[in-house]
Structure 1
Amino acid sequence: MSHYFTISEIKELAQRHYGLQISVTALNGYDESNFLLEDAAGRKYICKIAEAAHGLHFLDAQVKIMDYLSKSAVAKGFQQVLRNGEGTPLTSLVMAEGLFYMRILTYLPGTFWGAEQEHSAVQQYNLGHFLGRMDQALAGFDHPAMHRHYYWDISHALDARKHLPHIRSHEQRRIAGYFLLQFETEVIPHLQSLRTAAIHNDANDYNVLVTGEEVTGLIDFGDMVHTALINNLAIACTYAMLHTADPVATAAAVVKGYHTAFPLTEKEVALLYYLIAGRLCISVTQSAKQAAAASDNSYHFITENGAWVLLERLIAINPLAAEDAFRKACGFTSRLNPADTYTPLLQERKQFIGRNLSISYKRPLKIIKGALQYLYDDKGDTYIDCVNNVSHVGHCHPVVVKAMQQQIATLNTNTRYLHDNLVNFARELTATLPKELSVCYFTNSGSEANDLAIRMSRHYTKQKDVIVLDHAYHGTSTVAIGLSPYKFDGKGGFGKPEHTHKAINPDLYRGAFRYSDPEAGKKYAADVQEIISRLAGSGKGVAAFICETLLGVGGQIPLPPGYLKEVYQYVRAAGGVCIADEVQVGFGRVGNKFWGFELQEVTPDIVVLGKPVGNGHPLAAVVTTSAIADAFNNGMEYFNTFGGNPVSMATGIAVLKVIQEEEMQAHALEVGDYFLAALEKLKAIHPIIGDVRGHGLFIGAELVRNRETLEPAVPEIDVVVERMRDRGFLLSTDGPLHNVLKIKPPMVFTKANTDTLIAHLHEILLELK
């Protein structure tokens, strides 16, 4: 307000215009001045003063809607507007600062909903029933001023996007962005088909009045708007859910009450979860906007903390489970798939899909939606994703999704045409690497990238032989399978190809040289030198040495200190090329460094990137030196139809932007260290945990039956994985003996996620005893 109205001014105005002799108490308000008036007989009134910017037309609409309700069956639940001495409901006040409008309303008794700590299911039901009766009563009401574009109208929730940058917490900004993305995809296409009405639009916890179990009143029509009818219920549910033990059950009770009074449609119920999230996003972005503007109005932040807590809880709730609870409240049939309904799908998969395409878990999962570190199935269950490192910055990260959407709606073609995205991404990608690695080639998968890297090394060295680590895995192409002992030595494999040579897996836990040996890195590296010597003895050179800079399939193993420094010296002295496979470990996952090879203080000649670079989009890359790129430019064109296309490049740019702007490398270090420390505490309690290892959010826990013999705990580890799945945590196994818990979650994984995982893992390991 540009004019501060004093207590004495209000007393004088009430006397002059309304003939009231009253005492005055100032009240809080969002954007109007509010006062409690009381006369000598104890009668109370509410005085509201609005700036001219509120508009006489809209203030008239507020008067009209309250007059309309005063003649309805729900009249006693709403205030009435007093007329002034001239018989009008609005009193114009001309002050030095401008024009103001004064209203005096009757007082409604009761306690604010938000003033009570607990609310029974009966009270929640009554809230819905009260609102349903009100909305039914207002079915015939309309006013031109209510047809407005208003930022507190849930139908315009996407307006909140422009305020997302004001949210300082990366995690909170990401969650709000995610829900606004879902609002765009789940709600916007259906808005035009929903019932519309004149609604109150703000049944918040300090506008709803209760007496005992009854809801006795609703105040403040300053947010009213003509919009989707279901928005009124969504807002009431939002505020009722704040600070509750079971927010979905709370909302379901409100829905049931509303539906009993004024039946909902199935489409309205289906959108309710996303409308509630939309309202919360409006609230938190408005609070962030006000904070950025240094507002000192406490009313601007009254629900901020509770709204964030609810948003964080909401994203962990399967939307299908929420919808099902609301459907049951209305008596609609469930849309959840019952147990054991996958037989037909499994049969069709077997019929039409290659038989050797495996499925995780004994009881397969049908995942229908992803939300950052969460996955939702078709039965209403939520899973914390602890293993899908492909979704590096989180499932459906809003920044990445929008970048992909915008580019694919504009253009997608090949690299034979000029396009800024190709050069821009290459420039930004190489800026994260040592200066020697300056030339990029883009492909569609890590397998294809590894294939290309080997091809380039053979052009450069004129040799064919490649050294790999035992148990390594580098992809599914013919060349990559030939580099992967995990495949060619396994079931169905054809054995080691002639030009592939296996070096010892440098395993500090169960290998020949262990943690206690400070020279272990050099000793394991000596095996590579021995292979090179054998090749030289038979008149052969070495084209390349390739290894992951932390071993994935090999057992989630960090390389021994100094290992790659020694190996790279041996390989280069023999004229070979050093290839770092960063497909699983790059882009900040290891926390201490952006790239895994940096942990070893080396610079490879070729780096292979995949998986995380596109956050699940089929994008991979080979980055190399100018010398190797020049050698590869031998007259034969390198062309990849989809490699480097504008959509893939826009995706890669967005992923890098998110990693950097959301400080994900630092987050991986903090959460990873916390996770590793928690696993070490479990190891002290449970002898089955033989070793805990990793960097950042690349973590392995090796399970053994005996810490002396190191006998692998199989099938115990499979029991652990299945039981963790049943408790909502998706893990997997790795390692030559299949006894290592693989933990490589999306980088948005939190300490809170860690705590819940560790607690459940502890319980399961106790059960195993």
Structure 2
Amino acid sequence: MLNTFSTTAIINLIDKHYGLTVTAKELSGYDEANYFLEDTNGNAYICKIADESHHEAFLDAQVKILQYLAGSPVNKAFQQVIKNREEEGITTISSPEKIYYLRLLTWLEGQPMVTVTGTRELNAALGNFLGEMDQSLATFFHPAMHRDYSWDIARALDARENLVHIKDHEQRRLAAYFLLQFEMEVLPHLNKLRKAAIHNDANDYNVLVQGNEISGLIDFGDMVYTNLVNNLAIACTYVMLSAPDPLAAAVQVVAGYHKAYALTVEETDLLYYLVAARLCISVTTSAAHAAAGSTNTFHFITEAPAWKLLSQLITINPIAAQQAFREACGFASLINQEDDYAVLLAERKANIGRNLSISYQKPLKIVRGALQYLYDDKGRTFIDCVNNPSHVGHCHPTVVKAMQQQIAKLNTNTRYLNDNLIDYAKMLTATLPPSLEVCYFTNSGSEANDLAIRMSRHFTKQQDVIVLDHAYHGTSTVAMELSPYKFDGKGGFGKPAHTHKALNPDTYRGPYRATDPAAGKKYAADVQAIIAGLQEKGKGIAAYICETLLGVGGQIPLPQGYLEEVYTAVRAAGGVCIADEVQVGFGRVGDAFWGFELQGVTPDIVVLGKPIGNGHPLAAVVTTRAIADAFNNGMEYFNTFGGNPVSMATGLAVLQVIQEEGLQEHARVTGNYFMEGLEKLKAKHTIIGEVRGHGFFIGAELVRNRETLEPAVPEIDVIVEAMKERGFLLSTDGPLHNVLKIKPPMVFNKANTDALLHHLDEVLGSL
């Protein structure tokens, strides 16, 4: 199409239909042929030729809107339509093969905005100009403007069809997240917003500038009748693409627009999401063109900067953006900076159990989650480094949609047949050794641990359980009896008679250190001694339970060979080996899908929780056929919510995301990168005694002295608070509360890692 007419043919057509003698030069174009013309008097024009794929009615609308704007206060900023000899704005050219439509427009002087450095004045001028134009067009009508058009932001959700063409997992997840937010935050309000005929493409190639003034706006080929604010959102998008401070640049445009044509509060509050939606349309369209093999550079011209801006947008709290746009228009503030939550804290104290703790000296009120980010009500953004229950990220779009769709269809108990229950059990057991084949679903890791112990006691006819010192297995009565972290702590009830504590296999502080190649066997000997002691008393053992990497115990990987020795001894004594994978499993350790795989063992029962439902209350016990058969002793096992269709749909979605997005490998690569960075900080700051972990299960033990290993408390609390103020949420763990706990959502990336390490370096240096 673009090369159908030679410059000679164009010259002849202009002479024939317009009576003008011109020279012609072909210009590049997106989907129309464009030619620069100059007549004998030095007047410049642009000739545009479209084929039948461009409906004549819509080309007529483009002519009519320019003629309409010719009578507006901003008429000099638009091209004038040159009529042909028949006084028509469109010239129809017929050939044996096709019909073409020719339009002749005056040439506008100015540089495309993309070629100049944006300034505050220029951004404000752009907003002001668009406001004046939109106000002028408030009464313009043409039926062809009412069309279904993929570049209409109101139709942003159509972009979901092209998500599949985005090959990069992180990019696809990012676009899907923002499209989900459009569905939730924008779609319900669209019909309440003002509508108008808008230009719909004030990009930095179509906007012309001279100095700090807007000299013109060209190309009405994307115009559509839609929500008025979309015109502003598109202009903001392109200004933000190259701005060092994208939000500040958008604010300048918004202020200029509002000065010329008053916005509403509702419109400004949606701008953040509308900008994101425009970017999503752009990147998904580029991906679809790439999948189709396109070589047209115009299809990819903004792809790289659009992805960059989407990555920047998710780091901006939507409330901060809404507040900034409101301030630009003089609207009421959205944020109460004076609120110190005194009232909320008092109400919490009055209505909620007082031993439900709150993190940080200055509490946070978190109101939104976005993958690895959390947003508070003050407009601040935090990188989440500890919320491992949100395994694949807060509000992951795949998980959210699975939950929404299922709960809109059915949620009931397991006394009815449902495919989700079987589908998830099969998908889950496929990730485990073949001997682990029977599933029981519960609502929490605590409940799952409780059930696992109950099953072990049915199977062995014994009561005694061996746990690790400082271990934590949950909040149920049985789980508390297995948790020295609780029963030996403040307010604890002491060790029950049937619970036995084995040495915490800590190769940093314990009696056997990392330099001892036999440390694993030596720590295992303590378990063997406990078993021998029980046997001397004529007792057996029901179970040995431990996390396959120790969480509350100090973020500690088990020494090599430890579980192999322990499991052998436990089984020889007739006991059951239980692997608590609640905080460890589902690819978090990177080098394996399950923590027990790092030790080369297969447990008899695996307990799953936290990440299994990405924060949804879902947990599981998976065991052998023999143990399951022993548990089936005539007493029914029923759990009202365990295994319900919504929970199963959620679990399926989480596993799907882990596998399809390659999150285990991502945890391995990024986790190794993270620990390498921490090792570099360790070489620089003596307060870091040891860095340990696998994948995204990381601990950094802080000490005052590397020889005495005196714990760095309260220094670690100062560090955690300082990092929170810098936008990083960390926590502490370990028996001495001196281990930095790092277990972020699995979508945590290298940019997040670099930022955290940079700020941690500065905080440690300031101590």
- Which band: TM-score by shorter chain? over 0.9
| Greater shift in the superposed pair: 26-35 or 681-690 | 26-35
Q: CA deviation at 1:49?
A: 1.1
Residues 185-210 of structure 1, C-alpha deviations (whole Å, 9 max, x = no match) = 00000001000001100000100000
Contact 1:731 1:743 in 2 (8 A): yes
Contact 2:410 2:645 in 1 (8 A): yes
Q: CA deviation at 1:226?
A: 0.5
1:279 aligns with 2:278: yes
Quick one: distance in 2 between partners of 1:51 and 1:537?
94
State the match for 1:111 in structure 2: 111
Quick one: distance in 1 between partners of 2:226 and 2:183?
17
Structure 1 residues 572 and 66: alpha-carbon distance in aligned structure 2, compared to 1, 3 A threshold? same
Q: CA deviation at 1:3?
A: 6.0
Contact 1:124 1:240 in 2 (8 A): yes
1:71 aligns with 2:38: no
Letter in 1 for 2:68: Y
1:591 aligns with 2:590: yes
1:87 aligns with 2:62: no
State the match for 2:691 in structure 1: 692
Contact 2:3 2:33 in 1 (8 A): no
1:640 aligns with 2:653: no
Quick one: distance in 2 between partners of 1:746 and 1:63?
53
Letter in 1 for 2:725: D
State the match for 2:20 in structure 1: 20
Residues 422-448 of structure 1, C-alpha deviations (whole Å, 9 max, x = no match) = 000000000000000000000000000
Contact 2:2 2:33 in 1 (8 A): no
3-state SS, counterpart of residue 81 of structure 2: coil
Structure 1 segment 582-621 matched on structure 2, within 5 A? 582-621=581-620
State the match for 1:486 in structure 2: 485
3-state SS, counterpart of residue 238 of structure 1: helix
Quick one: distance in 1 between partners of 2:231 and 2:5?
32
3-state SS, counterpart of residue 515 of structure 2: coil
3-state SS, counterpart of residue 48 of structure 2: strand
1:744 aligns with 2:743: yes
3-state SS, counterpart of residue 45 of structure 1: strand
Residues 438-472 of structure 1, C-alpha deviations (whole Å, 9 max, x = no match) = 00000000000000000000000000000000000
State the match for 1:33 in structure 2: 33
Quick one: distance in 1 between partners of 2:437 and 2:97?
64
3-state SS, counterpart of residue 473 of structure 1: coil
Q: CA deviation at 1:32?
A: 1.4
3-state SS, counterpart of residue 204 of structure 1: coil
Letter in 1 for 2:16: R
1:311 aligns with 2:310: yes
Letter in 1 for 2:720: V
Quick one: distance in 2 between partners of 1:717 and 1:32?
63
1:49 aligns with 2:49: yes
Quick one: distance in 2 between partners of 1:328 and 1:218?
28
Contact 2:2 2:31 in 1 (8 A): no
Letter in 1 for 2:28: N
Contact 1:659 1:665 in 2 (8 A): yes
State the match for 2:151 in structure 1: 152
Contact 1:390 1:612 in 2 (8 A): yes
Structure 1 segment 432-471 matched on structure 2, within 5 A? 432-471=431-470
Q: Which runs of 5+ in 2 are unaligned?
A: none
Quick one: distance in 1 between partners of 2:157 and 2:322?
22
3-state SS, counterpart of residue 53 of structure 1: coil
1:724 aligns with 2:718: no
1:262 aligns with 2:261: yes
1:343 aligns with 2:349: no
1:666 aligns with 2:672: no
| Greater shift in the superposed pair: 256-265 or 6-15 | 6-15
Quick one: distance in 1 between partners of 2:249 and 2:593?
44
Quick one: distance in 2 between partners of 1:10 and 1:669?
61
Q: CA deviation at 1:260?
A: 0.2
| Greater shift in the superposed pair: 738-747 or 336-345 | 336-345
3-state SS, counterpart of residue 24 of structure 1: strand
Quick one: distance in 2 between partners of 1:194 and 1:734?
50
Quick one: distance in 2 between partners of 1:549 and 1:136?
65
1:228 aligns with 2:227: yes
Residues 392-420 of structure 1, C-alpha deviations (whole Å, 9 max, x = no match) = 00000000000000000000000000000
Letter in 2 for 1:524: Y
Quick one: distance in 2 between partners of 1:29 and 1:76?
24
3-state SS, counterpart of residue 737 of structure 1: coil
3-state SS, counterpart of residue 54 of structure 1: coil
Residues 320-346 of structure 1, C-alpha deviations (whole Å, 9 max, x = no match) = 001111001001121112144300000
1:625 aligns with 2:624: yes
Quick one: distance in 2 between partners of 1:140 and 1:339?
44
Q: CA deviation at 1:42?
A: 2.6
1:165 aligns with 2:164: yes
Residues 129-159 of structure 1, C-alpha deviations (whole Å, 9 max, x = no match) = 0000000000110111111111101011001
Contact 1:688 1:703 in 2 (8 A): yes
Q: CA deviation at 1:39?
A: 2.4
Letter in 2 for 1:41: N
Quick one: distance in 2 between partners of 1:708 and 1:4?
81
Contact 1:3 1:97 in 2 (8 A): no
Letter in 2 for 1:756: A
Residues 477-497 of structure 1, C-alpha deviations (whole Å, 9 max, x = no match) = 000000000000000000001
Structure 1 segment 513-528 matched on structure 2, within 5 A? 513-528=512-527
Quick one: distance in 1 between partners of 2:309 and 2:488?
51
Letter in 2 for 1:88: E
State the match for 1:422 in structure 2: 421
Quick one: distance in 2 between partners of 1:489 and 1:339?
41
Structure 1 residues 149 and 138: alpha-carbon distance in aligned structure 2, compared to 1, 3 A threshold? same
Residues 520-558 of structure 1, C-alpha deviations (whole Å, 9 max, x = no match) = 000000000000000000010000000000000000000
3-state SS, counterpart of residue 82 of structure 2: coil
State the match for 1:333 in structure 2: 332
| Greater shift in the superposed pair: 97-106 or 653-662 | 97-106
1:4 aligns with 2:4: yes
Letter in 2 for 1:29: G
Find runs of 4+ consecutive structure 1 residues off by over 3 angstroms. Answer: none
Q: CA deviation at 1:296?
A: 1.0
State the match for 1:758 in structure 2: 757
Residues 712-746 of structure 1, C-alpha deviations (whole Å, 9 max, x = no match) = 00000000000000000000000000000000000
Matched-pair identity in %: 71
- Alignment RMSD, CA only? 0.8
| Greater shift in the superposed pair: 80-89 or 287-296 | 80-89
Aligned length: 767
| Greater shift in the superposed pair: 103-112 or 339-348 | 339-348
Q: CA deviation at 1:38?
A: 1.9
| Greater shift in the superposed pair: 22-31 or 281-290 | 22-31
Residues 257-279 of structure 1, C-alpha deviations (whole Å, 9 max, x = no match) = 00000000000011010000000
Q: Which runs of 5+ in 1 are unaligned?
A: none
